[in-house]
Structure 1
Amino acid sequence: MPFLAADVGGTFARVALMQMSADEGREVAVLAYRKLACAQFDGLAELLQSFVDSDVRTSVRHCVLACAGHVAGDEVLNDNSPWPIHLAQLRQALALDEVAVLNDFEALGYALGNGPTGGSRLLCGPTMRTDGPVLVIGPGTGLGAAVRLPAAAGGHVLATEAGQMDFAPGSVREREVLACLAPHGGYVAYERIVSGPGLLTTYGALCALRGETPRLATPEEITAAAAACSDAQAVETVQIFCASLGSFAGSLAMTFMTTGGVYLAGGFLHSMFTLLEHSAFEERFLHGRSVRAFLSQVPVWVTEHGRHGVLGAAQWYLRRGVPQAARQAST
């Protein structure tokens, strides 16, 4: 019985028509797939309906959503969502029997927890991975993270709100940026720095510190200028971004003892791999002497987001969320 799987981010939504696979080597089969820009639609119901109208040729009664944030009652709470998501309205608008929801990085954890996939590139650490917890991190519109436990512990994925942790500057310059963002002190989340919008935030702060007017207006312009070394503030912005990402990833790798590896997910990072490779990421990831020996044995991979979100959401749904009646109808 085909069902919808959607990986909904702050900028793009990836939507697929899925089905339990007849191939023993795969859990799910992708019948149709599209990547859609959220800004082109008034709401999630309109986005999903557009996919159904263009790509679905059969009745669909079930849907699983991988979304940033968490569910509170009938609503998915997420500061970076382009529009409110109310589950009852979504069910009614699309005539669905059920809408199941999980965290978007929880879905990525299910998809990426079994090892590097095609297109993954090793950033630092050994090429071989051992069995153990796996950490998935992704800066995009926000900053997400999840941990997949090893198979011996059930293979479950723990969703987190780690991107909301207090930003910890690792250099004098980062302290100056933090003081610029919070001149009277207070809470500044990691995702305020380590995200696509975070690039703009840091770039603006650096321009202010130098008494200059920002001339770049998008994260893409900043990373392009940094790669071309055509804007000094852009170069420093990317340096701070990469170093801060290294500190963030290393702290979580220590917290969860992620011997299975760390995966940095998203086309955003994949496109700036060379900048990451030549940055202070690895040095900041390794932290201090007491944990350096452990962290140096943790492989860090950069992988494209691609279809991993919808695949992970579908795997989770078939294992835990799909109603027994739907399973029986599919056999």
Structure 2
Amino acid sequence: MSPPASIVEELHETILAPEDEDVPVNKRTSFNGRLNQYFHTSKKIPNPSIVQDTSKRKWKPESTTPSSNDEDTGSKQRQKLVSTSILNIPRRITRSHSASSSPSSLSSSPATEPSTADRSRARRQPSSRKSTPASSPVSLLRDTIPPNLTLLLVGVNPGIMTGATGYVYAHPSNLYWKFLHSSGITAIQHAPSDTYRLPELYNIGNTNIVERPTRDASMLSKAEMDGGVPVLEKKVAMQRPEAVCLVGKSIWEAIWRVRKGRAIRKEEFRYGWQDESENIGRCEGWNGAPVFVATTTSGLAAGMSMAEKKCVWNELGEWVVSRREASNRIPSM
């Protein structure tokens, strides 16, 4: 319920009475130049719900004979009531108010928000999780190259798990053992722990062009790859396998760089059997081993579909099976 109009007029005259009667002012528009004082009269901002409750309270007329103290108290109450309820002027928030009395600044404290030093200290603390190292200088993997193998499989380099266990293609995501079985090279899908049984079971062996283990083959430099080419040539010339399979395009690219002195062109590369002139390990009295370039078996490689990879490996498997049948070599399990 709003107060009577007569009382509102009286309140205006009481509040807006000028200090100096000689100064002409427009009372209703400028409030004697004192309008801003009503915006900053109190540092404590009244709750809007309280203001609404105050405006809704019934108007109680004051006593006609108030004491001096009552007059001061009533005057202050009337000033507050007019400035909040009757005038209904929105409070201007200055920088000092927004910085000191805003709810967000009051809620943020050193106890709830860590300081910059605390955050930097937390970043410096080592993680409790064990991360896989990028490379390892130690490898337990050994070559399996007895003389006169039907097939020698050449990888790029050992992975971290392969170097630690001593078994080829030991990481569960690698497709090597799966492709050996699906192509018919092995009778079953062996586990990596059967690495050193492959020569006696199927007359096939394994080696790598680089011995240093890394998490990914892309971490090897071209110098490392090129340096392993003459070593591979010597191994093949000494043990003379019937054929050599390069497990990954990058191995053939390194051999091509060393032999030709330049990178292989896109139109010059192909998977599968290479020309006889590209045999590996050629030496006096021996024409070398034919080269078959197979796809990588890494689970990280996504350049070819699974069907395309299997197609390449199946071609190699057909050749191995035919050579096995020709020599009457039956896999012993």
TM-score (normalizing by structure 1): 0.26
In our comparison, the structure showing a higher alpha carbon Rg is 2
TM-score (normalizing by structure 2): 0.26
